[in-house]
């Protein structure tokens, strides 16, 4: 459980780090000395944060574009379907090797 003073992301990083270390040990491949599971988890989270900052403006643009295209009477499901299609197209255009449906 997260304590009131504990950052939930930091708590997740420590927990995931411990699980990574255990998983590597269970496979008989412990991490090299000086490298911890927490280091790996922190690098992954930091990378995700950087990517998120990079993509947020584009996602907002796609969201605004989708809203502008929709009729005022469109349902939430119709909106989400159209936005999802735009996001899939956007991802495929940037990462053509992706097997995303």
Q: Band of the pLDDT at 86, cuts 50, 70, 90?
A: very high
Angle at the Cα of 88 (from 86 to 92), degrees rounded to 5? 120
Span 1-58, pLDDT tens digits: 545 677 899 999 999 999 999 999 999 999 999 999 999 999 999 998 988 888 889 9
| Residues counted in the chain | 101
Q: How far is Cα 29 from Cα 35, in angstroms, rounded to an integer?
A: 13
Question: pTM higher than 0.75, yes or no?
Answer: no
34: left (phi over 0), alpha (psi -120 to 50) or beta: left
């Amino acid at each position: 459980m997260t304590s009131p003073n504990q950052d939930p992301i930091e708590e997740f990083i420590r927990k995931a780090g411990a699980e990574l270390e255990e998983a590597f040990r269970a496979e008989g491949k412990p991490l090299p000395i000086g490298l911890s599971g927490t280091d790996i988890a922190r690098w992954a989270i930091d990378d995700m944060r950087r990517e998120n900052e990079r993509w947020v403006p584009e996602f907002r643009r796609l969201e605004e574009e989708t809203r502008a295209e929709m009729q005022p009477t469109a349902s939430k499901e119709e909106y989400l379907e159209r936005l999802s299609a735009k996001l899939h197209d956007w991802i495929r255009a940037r990462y053509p090797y992706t097997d995303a449906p």
